[in-house]
Amino acid sequence: MTPTPLIDAHVRLDVHPTHSSAVTATLTGTQARIAHMGLEAADWTVVADNVLALVRIDSEEPHWAQDAAKHLAAEGITVEITPRLQEAMDEEWTWATYPMPWCTRGEIREVSAEAQKIHDDIRHGQLLIHAHAHDGHTTVAVGTYLHRTGKSVYLHGENHLRQVADTFDSPAQALLAFEKVHGAEMRPGPAPLTDTERSAAEARTPLALTTAKAEPASPKPKIVPVYLADTGDHDTLLDEFLNTHGEFEKWRTWSDETTHAIHESQTLRIERVHETAARETAWTIAAYETPVSDRIWVLTATSATPAPVLQELLNHLVDGWDTAITPVDEKTVTTATQQLTDAGWKHTVDGRWIRWTSPAADAGIRFDAFTAQHPTQNLATWTIWAGPTPDRPTWTITASPHTPSSLLSDLSETLAHDTGLRRSPTAGTGRRTSLVTSPPAIPAVTAGHAASRSH
């Protein structure tokens, strides 16, 4: 057999720089146009000169990118797959709470592919949506194909679960049937984009618009109290922690928005919500007496919490955590805050509130004596904050009544004595890693990859 002649085209496949599951293809070579046409025919989108992106609503881009790589290679085109994309291609994952649990992984992918086709037909103007409604569970819609069969269709579901539930011979027939069932909720035109659809649309925008907004060079970092340090890269922080401590199992939700890490004992769970606003909760850590019991204590941290503070929190978890329920009394409060008192933080009592405030009044800890008397409700009894005022904090950590005093004491010691680096006045919104002078941070290592991921 005569070997396939090589084509002077090179395709480098990599993960998209801003979209969690999308894939980019960078083309080089005198015959790159051949690869370009093949990828465009497979619904890859041009996002820059010689760069295309595969963006889907079913998070299956790595799978279909691998399929594209096989076809390109069969044509004699050189294909390079970056290690991080290859990792995603090799990953075994499934959808959490998938509504059709009887489907195999291959059948799930077929359902998603059909939903993707519907999405693409709407996006390309081949399927005109006449009206939509919400049936109490999901979005339904009615539309007509303009260039294929000319059939009208009744659509049920959203994103990767959208399906053709019925067909009609004419738009009038379809609209009458749709109005009969959904008349009260019926709205003209297509439904608003879902978060997944909106994210996919953003990933198809030209990369040049993103790269053109380069940030100015950061000023020389300065040493500041740890509670004013840079936010750092929380995702890298968690990856390094999990890679170093194999007793935690990691998985991500179907939308790729949240990472869960569960200790092998099933009594400690970490939830990390990605891409949250600075003052929104990005971390939740909860402890349980047994894998099936109610949680004993819970702690949350917002997205702008400095990396060194989170590092200290994770360091404490390595040494173990308390699952015994201890009373919240004067002794536990004193133990939790002794380091602040020793460091000269101002101590005040105002009704139900007991406060410790830094000498510069730019950070503090607040204890709510009232909620401490209702421990079964897991209310936020402790609030750690930093920023202009307690009412307008830059970041906060909250903790329930039975949060171990040893953990709170470690955080107090970090706030009172440790320092970190701040690279700009607006640090806390970037993705930079802070340094801690004491105690040392976990050394950076290559992030490990979970054996499975729930999307």
Same domain, 17 and 37: yes
Burial 189-205 (b: 16+ CB within 10 A, else e): ebbeeeebbebbeebbe
Tell which of 94, 116, 145 closes a domain.
Answer: 94
Nearest residue to 419 (alpha-carbon basis) of 438, 440, 433, 443: 438
Tell which of 39, 68, 94 closes a domain.
Answer: 94
445 within some domain? yes
47 within some domain? yes
Domain that includes residue 47, residue range: 10-94
Q: Is residue 154 a contact partner of residue 168, using CB atoms and an 8 Å limit?
A: yes
Residues 6+ apart with CB under 8 A from 111: 100, 103, 160, 161, 163
Same domain, 424 and 321: yes
Same domain, 177 and 232: no
Same domain, 22 and 167: no
Same domain, 124 and 86: no
204 within some domain? no
Same domain, 55 and 131: no
216 within some domain? no
- 3-class SS at 25? strand
Same domain, 232 and 116: no
Same domain, 324 and 444: yes
Same domain, 318 and 426: yes
CATH code, 47: 3.30.780
Domain count, the chain: 3
Same domain, 282 and 337: yes
Same domain, 184 and 111: yes
DSSP string, 132-189: EEE-SSSEEEEEEESSSS--EEEEESSGGG-EEEEEESSHHHHHHHHHHHHTTT-EES
3-class DSSP string for 80-140: EECHHHHHHHHCEEECCCCCCCCCCHHHHHHHHHHHHHHHHHHHCCCEEEEEEEECCCCEE
112 within some domain? yes
- 439 upstream amide cis, omega within 30 of 0: yes
CA-angle at 229, arms to 357 and 438, nearest 5°: 85
343 within some domain? yes
Same domain, 380 and 262: yes
pLDDT per residue rounded down to tens, the chain (455 residues): 344 447 899 999 999 988 878 999 999 999 999 999 999 989 999 999 899 999 999 999 999 999 999 999 999 999 999 999 998 898 877 777 788 888 888 899 999 999 999 999 998 889 999 999 999 889 999 999 987 668 999 999 999 999 999 999 999 999 999 999 998 889 999 999 888 898 899 888 887 544 434 444 546 778 899 999 999 899 989 988 888 888 888 887 655 678 888 888 888 899 999 888 888 999 999 888 888 788 888 999 999 999 999 999 998 887 656 656 666 788 888 888 999 989 999 999 988 899 999 999 999 999 998 888 776 666 788 999 999 888 889 999 999 888 888 889 999 999 999 998 887 543 333 332 232 322 223 222 222 323 333 33
Tell which of 94, 128, 156 closes a domain.
Answer: 94
